[in-house]
Amino acid sequence: MISRNLDKAREAFEKGDINESIKAHQRKDAPEEHNQEQGQYIKSLIYGGLDGIITTFAVVAGVAGASLSSGIVLILGFANLIADGLSMAVGDYLSTKAEIEYKQKERERETWEVENYPEGEKEELIELYMDKGMSFEDASTVTEIISKNKKTWVDIMMVEELGLIEENESPIKNALVTFFSFSVFGFIPLGAYVLSTFISSFQNSTFLIASILTGLTMFTLGALKVRMTGKNWFLSGLEMLVVGGLAAFSAYAIGYLLSGLA
């Protein structure tokens, strides 16, 4: 439970408005409870979606460049969608699991050291605070206060000494979010080709429709990255559109140059 409105505090920072910042920090009558779990999966959602739409559209662009049939686009596109989606999900699961296990092991070690050699841990913490500019006396005072609570002591050592921030992450949820996002957004470039099998008027401009839908989605996902980066939403969206466009153009060019092999 946090007694400030973090979203308002961020808005105040972006505007450089001190008064708004003060108001955001004085919301003690209605403390804001942050949904940390939701925030942890935003990264997997956005980057899984970006990877899904870029790689799938690259396949679509390559096949279109080679002037192959819509059937080939769908076969290769869906094969890429499932195979790459599963690969990303497994990778996300294993990397998150390994990171959690590493942090747990480091916490166990720090806890053991605090319990068995507290003097050494105090000296380390004093040195850390002195490196940040504190005097020896102030660093010693802060360390003595912190060392009165073992959990707080270990928490601070994890961050200050090891640079590790522990989060309540779930490897399985991370993997599911990544796969879901990859599959949903990766389907968008294929959507126009699926519709063209039912709507004949789409058949003459399928790749153009797919390009427009993909471009709009890439811009939107790029703009949503500002939830993590705090940068300008328009520039972030434009950057992603350009990066995705370059990848698609490269795939299209290769497909065109190698079209004679098909």
pLDDT (0 to 100) of residue 200:
78
Give me the chain's average pLDDT, please.
83
Torsion sign, CA atoms 214, 215, 221, 222? positive
Whether 189 and 209 have beta carbons less than 8 Å apart is answered as no
pLDDT (0 to 100) of residue 228:
63
pLDDT (0 to 100) of residue 56:
92
Q: What is the pLDDT of residues 181-190, one digit of tens each?
A: 999 999 999 9
Sequence-distant (≥ 6) Cβ neighbours of residue 124 within 8 angstroms: 157, 161
Where are the domains positioned within the chain? 1-33, 42-261
- Residue 223 pLDDT class (50, 70, 90 cuts): confident
- Cα torsion 74, 77, 79, 85 to 10°: value is -140
Question: How far is Cα 221 from Cα 27, in angstroms, rounded to an integer?
Answer: 32
Of 177 and 19, the one with more pLDDT: 177
pLDDT (0 to 100) of residue 7:
64
Kindly state the percentage of the chain with pLDDT values over 90.
Answer: 30
Q: ∠ CA(6), CA(218), CA(195), 5° rounding?
A: 130
Sequence-distant (≥ 6) Cβ neighbours of residue 19 within 8 angstroms: none
Is the pLDDT at 135 greater than 90? The verdict is: yes
Question: How far is Cα 260 from Cα 262, in angstroms, rounded to an integer?
Answer: 6
pLDDT (0 to 100) of residue 1:
46
Terminal CA-to-CA distance of the chain, rounded, Å?
61
Is the pLDDT at 29 greater than 70? The verdict is: no
Question: How far is Cα 186 from Cα 53, in angstroms, rounded to an integer?
Answer: 4
| pLDDT, average across residues 56-62 | 91
Helices (H) and strands (E) in the chain, counts: 12, 0
Whether 92 and 175 have beta carbons less than 8 Å apart is answered as yes
Question: How far is Cα 248 from Cα 196, in angstroms, rounded to an integer?
Answer: 21
Is the pLDDT at 221 greater than 80? The verdict is: yes
pLDDT (0 to 100) of residue 35:
47
pLDDT (0 to 100) of residue 32:
45
pLDDT (0 to 100) of residue 236:
84
Torsion sign, CA atoms 222, 74, 176, 171? negative
Q: What is the pLDDT of residues 41-53, one digit of tens each?
A: 777 888 888 889 9
Sequence-distant (≥ 6) Cβ neighbours of residue 217 within 8 angstroms: 49, 53, 185, 188
Q: What is the pLDDT of residues 64-89, one digit of tens each?
A: 888 888 889 899 999 999 999 999 99
pLDDT (0 to 100) of residue 39:
56
Q: What is the pLDDT of residues 151-178, one digit of tens each?
A: 988 998 888 888 888 777 788 988 999 9
pLDDT (0 to 100) of residue 31:
44
Is the pLDDT at 229 greater than 70? The verdict is: no
- Residue 38 pLDDT class (50, 70, 90 cuts): low
- Cα torsion 89, 178, 225, 21 to 10°: value is -110
pLDDT (0 to 100) of residue 4:
56
